[in-house]
Amino acid sequence: MTAGPVLELDAVTKRYPAQPPVIALDEVSFEVARGELVAIVGPSGSGKSTLLHVMGTLDRPSEGTVRISGFDVSQLNDRELAGLRATEIGFIFQQFFLAEHASALENVGDGLLYTGAPAAVRHAAAAEALDSVGLAQRARFRPPQLSGGERQRVAIARALVGHPAIILADEPTGNLDSATGKTILDLLDELNRAGATILVITHDHEIADRMPRQVELRDGRIVADSGVAPSGQMMRAAREPLVR
Amino acid sequence: MSASDDHPAAVAALTAHPNGGPAVGHLRSADMLRIASIGLRTRRVRAALSALGIAIGVAAIVAVLGLSASSSANLLTEISRLGTNLLEVTNGQTLFGQTAELPEAAPAMIRRIGPVESVASTGSTSASVYRSRLIPAINTNGLSVDAASTGLPGVVGSHVIAGSYLNAATETEPVAVLGWQAAQLLGIDRIYPGERIWLGGTWFYVAGILSAATLAPEIDSSVLVGFTAAERYLGFDGHPTTIYLRAQNNAVNAVHNVLAATADPETPSNVDVSNPSAALQARADAQSALNGLFLGLGAVSLLVGAVGVANIMVISVLERRSEIGLRRALGATRGHIRAQFLSEAVLLSLVGGAVGIGLGVIATAIYASAKHEPVVIPASAWAGGLGAAIAIGAIAGLLPALRAARLSPTDALRTV
Ligand SMILES: Nc1ncnc2c1ncn2[C@@H]1O[C@H](COP(=O)(O)OP(=O)(O)OP(=O)(O)O)[C@@H](O)[C@H]1O
Ligand SMILES: [Mg+2]
């Protein structure tokens, strides 16, 4: 089976209507192959969150093409995009966004809520995902009873519970101290080695430098991409950015 | 690629392409019910307070419908027990505004009308009545003294609850029978041999006490003596003031039409004719007019409750923007979000409606059993209460739910 890129962006532009119009993304093109761990790094306001929303089909680009698992996003209606998010994309946010009244297990199970999977299947998958982030012992805990790092690990388990084609993380360590942040980055590394495709957005070059590939964004434009090899093959070894 | 072994879902989606699109997001109805109840479960006090208006409104409506069903069930059996064929002839006013007099022969004339089954009459006297002769004469007590014919209880639908009524023998003697209110006011609740009251300057023996005369309540506060005795001891002139008669059921209107002319052939305009059971019916109607008022109050309370639910839903949508954004990111469609908040509003007012029905039934049961009426909760009351609650929840929740669904996921996620 020939597997194309998990994620393809081709000349993606995102304009926000304002006076004057804000060009948050300006002809952004890049690909993410299966199994990659990519950092998108850039200063505040460079368009990182906008890019994540466009890649995650939460927003449509003004121009250009986005493909996820081969699906051209512009060809899909809102309900199909929702289905794509339910099955193909996992999100991790800076603010965790966990339901406070629900247990860690239920929060993780919610990652499969909109796939229509029966409760028993969701619970089994959630227990497995919690185990893979090292929180099997905390399944019955509710978020207020967990530390910040543990909460983010619950959110990570929720993102990967459905085995999505790609996991998109927006500043996953932004609300954590640096030591806890490091354990989260170690976890993402470990999950990537186990096969997950992960794209991490950060403003922190130190974090980006840990990743096998860095894409640097400035004023809505890609100014450097360490991972694009001439053959189009990913280069896990290339840790030096092209432009610094 | 080694990764594909760990990503069966992704592989399945990839192999499905390009023949068809991806699977469309799907939410099980049990899960929908569960997430619709999140707001209620996590903010109980708020939910209880916002459902209160609807609970009160539904309780008012159920109680009003229940109470009126109970009392009208009671009234209907009462009316059919008493019969609807009683007619009442009273002396009216002359052209010059003076109190008219019925001819002495009027009862006998009326008895001669074909479809008339029975006739009785009373005539008011100016005598006063006291428990003893020591009470000063100025101290009137609101009781009237009337001459009454011997068939009166049977015609008006009353009976003696103690002692006996006037008969051919006692009708001519200083003997009195008390209406139930008169007995209460005189402090007489049992009949002792030799019991007397001071009536128009003479001692009268008390022979009996009558039960409530629902169709002729004026008798309840009367002290009744025989026509002959009234003329002999109280200076009564013998003219009746009220004539009660029963007509055949199918001829009530026909008899009604000829009564005035029969009672007073010379000046029929001096005669008033009425149908007491029709008046009772009118009282029941007046009661339902009062019900209309309470139903209106219930409706206003429901409206207030609806505004409360809408208000709480608007706040809930504002507060839960990030939850909405997260759900969209997890694969919820706009329809899922809309259905979630709409169901939450309906659930909220359903809880209010159910509590309201409970309160309404309890209020009806307490009130009706205190009045010894049957407890009747018409199906329309609780079905209407539940239906109103669902409708209100749907209407109140519609706009907030539409707003929640319209919220763009990026805007929802950016807010923190
Ligand atoms: N809804 C919007 N309307 C208008 N402009 C917007 C909107 N959303 C974002 N922008 C603009 O787009 C640009 C990129 O925003 P974005 O949030 O993607 O930046 P970012 O790289 O994530 O920044 P940060 O590191 O601070 O999160 C900014 O200049 C921002 O002001
Ligand atoms: Mg951002």
Residue B102, pLDDT above cutoff 50:
yes
In sequence order, what are the beta bridge partners of B146? Answer: B124, B224
Of B82, B120, B105, the residue nearest B245 (C-alpha): B120
Atom 16 (ligand 1): residue with closest C-alpha? A47
Distance CA(A21)–CA(B171), nearest Å, equals 109
Residue B323's Cβ-side half-sphere holds a number of Cα atoms within 13 Å equal to 20
* Mean pLDDT, chain A, integer: 90
Q: How many helices (H) and strands (E) does chain A have?
A: 7, 10
Ligand nearest to the CA of A43: 1
Q: How many helices (H) and strands (E) does chain B have?
A: 14, 11
Split at pLDDT 50, 70, 90, the class of A38 is very high
**pLDDT for the residue B113:** 86
Distance CA(B31)–CA(B29), nearest Å, equals 5
Distance of CA B323 to the CA centre of its chain: 49
Q: Directed axis angle between helix B334-370 and helix B276-319, to 10°? A: 150
List of chain A residues whose C-beta atoms are within 8 Å of the C-beta of residue B328: 58, 82, 85
**pLDDT for the residue A141:** 96
Distance CA(B146)–CA(B125), nearest Å, equals 6
How is residue B41 written in tokens?
């479960």
Interface confidence (ipTM) of the complex = 0.91
Contact across the interface for A110 and B330, Cβ inside 8 Å? yes
Split at pLDDT 50, 70, 90, the class of B271 is confident
Distance CA(B123)–CA(B104), nearest Å, equals 10
Atom 12 (ligand 1): residue with closest C-alpha? A24
DSSP-based three-state secondary structure for A96: coil
Rounded to an integer, the average pLDDT of A68-85 is: 93
Of B123, B127, B126, B130, the residue nearest B185 (C-alpha): B130
How is residue B28 written in tokens?
């099980």
DSSP-based three-state secondary structure for B123: strand
Contact across the interface for B414 and A70, Cβ inside 8 Å? no
How is residue B21 written in tokens?
């699109």
Contact across the interface for A80 and B22, Cβ inside 8 Å? yes
Residue A87, pLDDT above cutoff 80:
yes
Residue B21, pLDDT above cutoff 80:
no
Contact between residue B328 and residue A58 where contact means Cβ atoms under 8 Å apart: yes
Residue A231, pLDDT above cutoff 70:
no
Give the closest-approach CA distance of A225 to chain B in angstroms: 23
Residues 162-201 of A with CB under 8 A from B: 162-165, 194-197
Split at pLDDT 50, 70, 90, the class of A228 is low
Distance CA(B154)–CA(B216), nearest Å, equals 12
Q: Which of B7, B316, B323 to mutate to test the interface with A (most CBs of A within 10 A)?
A: B7
Contact across the interface for A113 and B24, Cβ inside 8 Å? no
Split at pLDDT 50, 70, 90, the class of B261 is confident
Architecture in CATH of A35-58+88-225: 3-Layer(aba) Sandwich (3.40)
Using alpha carbons, list the distances in angstroms from residue A230 to A163, A225, A226, A233.
30, 12, 11, 8
How is residue B173 written in tokens?
């003697």
**pLDDT for the residue B138:** 57
Residue A73, pLDDT above cutoff 70:
yes
**pLDDT (tens digit, 9 = 90+) per residue, B135-167?**
665 556 778 899 999 889 989 888 888 888 988
The residue length of chain B stands at 416
- Please check whether residue A121 touches B, CB under 8 A: no
Q: CB under 8 Å to A24, separation ≥6 — which residues?
A: A14, A15, A16, A47, A50, A220
Q: Domain map of chain A by residue range?
A: 35-58+88-225
List of chain B residues whose C-beta atoms are within 8 Å of the C-beta of residue A115: 23, 25-26, 331
Helices (H), B83-162: 106-111, 152-156
Give the number of the atom of ligand 1 that is nearest the alpha carbon of residue B414: 17
Using alpha carbons, list the distances in angstroms from residue B224 to B108, B147, B169, B234.
20, 6, 15, 12
**pLDDT for the residue A128:** 96
> Cα of B326 to ligand 2 centre, how many Å?
16
Distance CA(B113)–CA(B273), nearest Å, equals 15
Rounded to an integer, the average pLDDT of A220-238 is: 63
**pLDDT for the residue B20:** 55
Residue A211 DSSP class: S
**pLDDT for the residue A194:** 93
The gap between the terminal CA atoms of chain B, to the nearest Å, is 40
Q: Which of B19, B35, B44, B326 to mutate to test the interface with A (most CBs of A within 10 A)?
A: B326
**pLDDT (tens digit, 9 = 90+) per residue, B184-199?**
888 888 888 888 888 8
Of B166, B157, B272, the residue nearest B219 (C-alpha): B157
**pLDDT for the residue B5:** 39
How is residue B106 written in tokens?
């009027």
Give the percent of chain A with pLDDT over 70. 92
Distance CA(B238)–CA(B104), nearest Å, equals 6
**pLDDT for the residue A117:** 92
Residue B13, pLDDT above cutoff 80:
no
Of B410, B327, B326, the residue nearest A49 (C-alpha): B410
Q: Directed axis angle between helix B276-319 and helix B321-330, to 10°? A: 70
Give the closest-approach CA distance of B39 to chain A in angstroms: 10
**pLDDT (tens digit, 9 = 90+) per residue, A141-191?**
999 999 999 999 999 999 999 999 999 999 999 999 999 999 999 999 999
A65 CB-contact burial (10 Å; exposed 0-12 / middle 13-18 / buried 19+): middle
Residues 18-37 of A with CB under 8 A from B: 34-35
**pLDDT for the residue A132:** 93
Give the closest-approach CA distance of A22 to chain B in angstroms: 16
Give all strands (DSSP E) within B158-219, no chain letters. Answer: 160-163, 175-178, 196-199, 202-210
Rounded to an integer, the average pLDDT of B324-350 is: 95
Distance CA(B115)–CA(B380), nearest Å, equals 42
In sequence order, what are the beta bridge partners of A221? Answer: A218
Split at pLDDT 50, 70, 90, the class of B259 is confident
B45 CB-contact burial (10 Å; exposed 0-12 / middle 13-18 / buried 19+): exposed
